[in-house]
Homo-oligomer: A and B are copies of this chain.
């Protein structure tokens, strides 16, 4: 996972205050009554997928190690928390280092309702502190990756450029670009994502550049195009819809010649315009010039353009807002205390409490049939006729981050393979049930007996 090396953590801002006050007051109360050091197990999971979605994509896991490495209470952080915590808690925080174990689903793994995508084990105090930061990263990045994966499926192999930074918080935008690339987008406009995560960059020109070439004599689109081609070469993409598109295409080929790399259409009925522009380009001899479309695209409008001569999509707002589902809604729940499974409203009854592990079962063809959860420490359920793949990998052991974690490129490749493994209806854009069921194999009988996980 492409993270900044741990030794640089000290130079960079602490993440320790990117958390909720109540986690610290809980630590204070638990330190006072002696329960702070009880061995605990927390899990991150989503109770349900966003309305009608058939799968979720685990995003953000590659950002967790860096965020954890920077989770330190230095003097500036202690000054804030000492306003409401007692001295003993402040001293405890000063020495705080997470020393437990964390397992995770790989970034790019699919998840379904109940999938235990993160399993955190240690003392109560050290585990509870991580709740908000871990959820912020996973909820945001998974929401974006999940939406982006649907767009990539809809684009059916055409080039996808992420360009939504302006519609998202400036730091969220960087993570959006990363999640889009994870999901199969080819490039981003966001330069910080290029620097921080190695995502390929892309970008050419906007309406402002064409409008800039206005004088008292009027607009001069061709002058703008000539300036862009002179600076960026004929391989550039010219934006042809500032004034009249037909004239814009004519001006573009006049400025760049028939070797022009591409034209972009950012408004109007993109399907109709793409056909018109393709015909016009072909007549002008620019048969190799690509057509890029953008402008409020989402997975549905991308799919609707499949039959049109579109070579590339630029996607903004719908990507960075999760296309209707801007957060994944994952929760971080205490599931086991001192070996005893716990769960809200049903502690000590048969329970989905307890530390869990997960396998995904597939046919020999590779098609996934179901996900099975089972209690950690019990044997994995018998897969019968199916192939079983363990889904949790070690992320942290004894406070140390594993050193063989997947890179962003690995995760991108994993997701591409995972999407192929879904039953065919799993990739449908229409609303529906999760593509595969998640089942709970009771500890006593490690076979598939539980009802569905949905709540």
Q: Which residues of A contact B (CB under 8 A)?
A: 15, 17-26, 28-30, 32-33, 35, 38, 40, 42, 67, 76-77, 80-81, 83-84, 86, 124, 128, 131-133, 135-137, 139-141, 163, 165-175, 189-192, 194-195, 201-209, 211-216, 218-219, 223, 226-228, 230-232, 242-244, 317, 320-322, 326-327, 329, 332-334, 337-338, 340, 342-345, 347-348
Contacts and interface: CB of A to CB of B under 8 A. Distances in A.
A228 B329 contact: no
Nearest to A86: B231
Given A124-B212, A329-B317, A84 B26 contact: no
Q: Among A17, A80, A209, A317, which residue has the most Cβ atoms of chain B within 10 A?
A: A209
A340 B190 contact: no
23 contacts: A18-B165, A18-B174, A22-B206, A24-B203, A26-B206, A26-B208, A26-B209, A35-B227, A38-B212, A81-B191, A83-B201, A132-B165, A136-B167, A136-B168, A139-B167, A141-B169, A169-B171, A207-B344, A212-B337, A214-B337, A214-B340, A219-B342, A244-B345
A172 B140 contact: yes
Contacts of A232: 25, 28-29
A35 to B, nearest CB: 5
Nearest to A320: B327
Contacts of A334: 207-208, 211-212
Contacts of A213: 35
B140 A168 contact: yes
B340 A205 contact: no
A260 B365 CA distance: 61
A246 to B, nearest CB: 13
B168 A171 contact: no
A30 B321 CA distance: 32
Nearest to A195: B80
Given A18-B191, A21-B189, A317-B327, 11 more contacts: A18-B171, A20-B166, A25-B203, A29-B205, A29-B228, A124-B212, A133-B170, A136-B167, A136-B168, A169-B175, A320-B327
Contacts of A131: 166, 208
A30 B38 CA distance: 64
Nearest to A171: B171
Nearest to A76: B195
A170 B215 contact: no
Contact of A22 (B22, B169, B194, B205): B205
Contacts of A172: 140, 168-169, 171-172
B124 A30 contact: no
A218 B345 CA distance: 12
